[in-house]
Amino acid sequence: MMQIAVMGYGTIGSGVVEVLEINRERIAKKTGQEIGVKYILDLREFPGDPYEEQIVHDFSVIEKDEDVCLVVEAMGGVNPAYAFVKACLESGKHVVTSNKALVAAHGTELLQIARDRNLNFLFEASVGGGIPLIRPLTQSLAGEEILEICGILNGTTNYILTKMDQEGQDFETALKKAQELGYAERNPEADVEGYDTCRKIAILTALATEREVNFEEVYTEGITRITDTDFQYAARLKTSIRLLGVSRMDGERVSVFVCPVMVQADHPLYAVSDVYNGVVVRGRTVGTIMFYGSGAGKLPTANAVVSDIVEIAGHLSDHIPFGWSAKKQALTPVEEQNFSYFIRFAGQAAEKFADVEAVFAGARLIELEGKDEFAVITGRMSEARCRKLAAAFPDILQTIRCF
Amino acid sequence: MMQIAVMGYGTIGSGVVEVLEINRERIAKKTGQEIGVKYILDLREFPGDPYEEQIVHDFSVIEKDEDVCLVVEAMGGVNPAYAFVKACLESGKHVVTSNKALVAAHGTELLQIARDRNLNFLFEASVGGGIPLIRPLTQSLAGEEILEICGILNGTTNYILTKMDQEGQDFETALKKAQELGYAERNPEADVEGYDTCRKIAILTALATEREVNFEEVYTEGITRITDTDFQYAARLKTSIRLLGVSRMDGERVSVFVCPVMVQADHPLYAVSDVYNGVVVRGRTVGTIMFYGSGAGKLPTANAVVSDIVEIAGHLSDHIPFGWSAKKQALTPVEEQNFSYFIRFAGQAAEKFADVEAVFAGARLIELEGKDEFAVITGRMSEARCRKLAAAFPDILQTIRCF
């Protein structure tokens, strides 16, 4: 019997206990032993819960119990998760987490402690929920030169954008619907401002480059300024608008950004709708591959946590080479990154397009009937150049980068 | 230095040597040692090739060299690949293969020899080319109850069907184009008759159930009878037609089949076009996930072979629990499987649809203008029942199962 503890008995934590229960026999067969949940750490009581007896309120009970060889951190947030996880590793316990905020902020240090102590610190569930993503990226593509990672990494915003696209809803209406369905939190900032996607693309980039990526340096723009009018243009262009986290390797530097992107219909991510996540990985020899699935949800995410537990069960006394070093990855500033742009201007094209075209050479005009505005798609240029050219037009209504 | 041998210096074999070369430094860093190609077995000479000196014509040179700890089989076909792979394992060498014919026919025995001798026999490249598929299925989903696997597993037929769909070509024209581009072989039987897909879905099913699946028992129907008229109806219905390999777990038995299927636009595989492959896996707790990428091609497939080599490099003295036992998996005969059907009838709907509806209760009529025929979509019923009902109509032109 392998004894584990689960910290946090919310959605993910209780999901982990449930998946361990549902798949008990199969897991025992795979790992050669039963996995027992000895403690569940939570501040609350759970009277009547089948695991009521396992609930503890004091972290030190887990930390001090030498029977517990693995701890699942499913509390979320950086504090006190960071202190607890660090203490677990320092007391010789393997750790599995679903917490992208923790991994993005302290992954380098926690991975190093795990390495030094011949333990494992795994976090498959932190990106892409139930989609097997981190393990294929680090194991199946071990040795491969990753050229690009491009993903829809946040189900909440993808649901909102899908509703805006398919039903013509405005942002506020779609957000409200997402909140009613429990897809968005009451305070949706982390999702809609792109902060969640930012941490996830930072983690994937760090795994691909094997260097530390400071998520605070990643250019991040959310979807709160996307309107139903933008989607009317997108429909006309047979494109859609998605919140993407993107990482492109340019030699020693990496261009990483999070922002709404106008995506062509032939892009593999175009078809990823609703709360689904999709991640496209382009490698030098493997070409383009995509992973798709439920990016969130109790059981899918818990399944990813359990897959890490099962892997560690086969490596209880050795460290699986994994993760990134403390060496810092240089990022390309967004000003030096290149895009083509969808730009909306107030006023009539008949009067103003000539001026726009004189500045944005080769810009393609797009008009919607009956609107006192028009839009263009520009050629490819640096962000700095686009901003400089755009400064000549005080009547710009919107700018969205295009793929 | 880890010494390996490559058997077969055709597309895949030379691709493996190339990927090992391209990713040399990264692989050495991952595995902690260089990987050297000591021998390449091929009947031909390769004058001027950088690996000319490594070419051997006699298998026993490889078999007897104790320096060689791993052999890549990239010859294709069952013979002599089977005898050579078995001899490699019996002389204590790990084996990696891309050969689905070999794995489908002799996987059970070869896996058992590997297990008995504490070796590894891996075959990531045998299904889905470069897509990480077998490793996620067996490792990331270890312990998960797989409910369904449904895949576009053959790039050649998917290319042909995409051309028929998008350009209105007939089967012969699309096949000829595929042959010109090198996507289809001069004798395209293994692809277009579904034999290749059959072996691949048999392998995936065996991995999911951990039991032997006899591919000869899998109901297999190719795409040679699919016509441009079928695609006209498909377009009307906003569906497409794809060659699928499907495996559905029904308790102790599994429904496995390979056939052209009319796929709805909201199915994740609908968007998988051209030579791409896509595999949808549905698990009890993980929900629906999809893997997508180049299902064939020199470097993508070679990349998958190399990922197996890298994995084995970390397990040179231990067997990674993997594969299926000799216990036979019972399959549900196709007659007992349930589908709804697209059926085309000769003649005018005005005269004949009433008769059809009297037999296929609830059938939905679809007509194309200016044709002396019509089609219906039936309700869901067993294959046996459909065949029995259809026997009353000698004027049936086509039957395609629907998802």
What is the pLDDT, as a whole number, of residue A197? 98
| Interval A230-279: pLDDT, tens | 999 999 999 999 999 999 998 899 999 999 999 999 899 999 999 999 99
| Interval A63-86: pLDDT, tens | 999 999 999 999 999 999 999 999
Chain A's closest residue to B129, CA to CA, is A286
Mean pLDDT of chain A: 96
| Interval A344-374: pLDDT, tens | 999 999 999 999 999 999 999 999 999 999 9
Distance in Å, alpha carbon of B154 to nearest chain A alpha carbon: 16
Query: Where does residue B246 rank: exposed (0-12), middle (13-18), buried (19+ CB within 10 A)?
Result: buried
What is the pLDDT, as a whole number, of residue A251? 85
Does residue A136 sit at the B interface (CB-CB below 8 Å)? Answer: yes
Chain A's closest residue to B209, CA to CA, is A26
Does residue A316 sit at the B interface (CB-CB below 8 Å)? Answer: no
What is the pLDDT, as a whole number, of residue A142? 87
Q: Per CATH, which fold does B2-129+299-313 belong to? A: Rossmann fold (3.40.50)
A177 a catalytic residue: no
Residue of A96, A144, A146, A281 to mutate, interface with B, max B Cβ within 10 Å: A144
pTM of the model: 0.95
* Inter-chain Cβ pairs, chain A and chain B, closer than 8 A: 164
Residues of A with Cβ-Cβ distance to B288 under 8 angstroms: 293-294
Q: Which one has a higher pLDDT value, A182 or A336?
A: A336
Q: Per CATH, which fold does B143-293 belong to? A: Dihydrodipicolinate Reductase; domain 2 (3.30.360)
Report the residue from A268, A283, A293 with minimal CB separation from B289. Answer: A293
| Interval B22-54: pLDDT, tens | 999 999 999 999 999 999 999 999 999 999 999
CATH of domain B334-402: 3.30.70.1150
A222 torsion bin: left (phi>0), alpha (psi -120 to 50), beta (else): beta
Does residue B197 sit at the A interface (CB-CB below 8 Å)? Answer: no
Residues of chain B with pLDDT > 70, as a percent, come to 100
Residues of A with Cβ-Cβ distance to B132 under 8 angstroms: 132, 136, 140-141, 289
User: What CA–CA distance (Å, rounded) separates A305 from A132?
Assistant: 11
Confidence label for B296 from pLDDT (cuts 50, 70 and 90): confident
What is the pLDDT, as a whole number, of residue B303? 96
CATH of domain A140-293: 3.30.360.10
Q: Write a three-state SS string for chain B.
A: CEEEEEECCCHHHHHHHHHHHHCHHHHHHHHCCCEEEEEEECCCCCCCCCCHHHEECCHHHHHHCCCEEEEEECCCCCCCHHHHHHHHHHCCCEEEECCHHHHHHHHHHHHHHHHHCCCCEECHHHCCCCCCCHHHHHHHCCCCCEEEEEEECCHHHHHHHHHHHHHCCCHHHHHHHHHHCCCCCCCCHHHHCCHHHHHHHHHHHHHHHCCECCHHHCEECCCCCCCHHHHHHHHHCCEEEEEEEEEEEECCEEEEEEEEEEEECCCHHHHCCCCEEEEEEEECCCEEEEEEEECCCHHHHHHHHHHHHHHHHCCCCCCCCCCCCCCECCECCHHHCEEEEEEEEECCHHHHHHHHHHHCCCCEEECCCCCCEEEEECCCEEHHHHHHHHCCCCCEEEEEEEC
Confidence label for B295 from pLDDT (cuts 50, 70 and 90): confident
Mean predicted confidence (pLDDT) in A102-129: 97
- Which residues 27-46 of B have a C-beta within 8 angstroms of A? 27, 30-31
Residues of A with Cβ-Cβ distance to B286 under 8 angstroms: 130, 293-294, 299-300, 303-304
Confidence label for B251 from pLDDT (cuts 50, 70 and 90): confident
Q: Where are the domains of chain A?
A: 2-129+299-313, 140-293, 336-402
Does B307 contact A271 at a Cβ distance shorter than 8 Å? no
The interface pTM score, or ipTM, of the predicted complex is 0.92
Residue B179: count other Cβ atoms within 10 Å of its Cβ.
Answer: 16
Mean predicted confidence (pLDDT) in A297-318: 95
CATH of domain A336-402: 3.30.70.1150
Distance in Å, alpha carbon of A63 to nearest chain B alpha carbon: 27
Does residue A289 sit at the B interface (CB-CB below 8 Å)? Answer: yes
Residue of B279, B282, B303, B309 to mutate, interface with A, max A Cβ within 10 Å: B303
Chain B's closest residue to A282, CA to CA, is B293
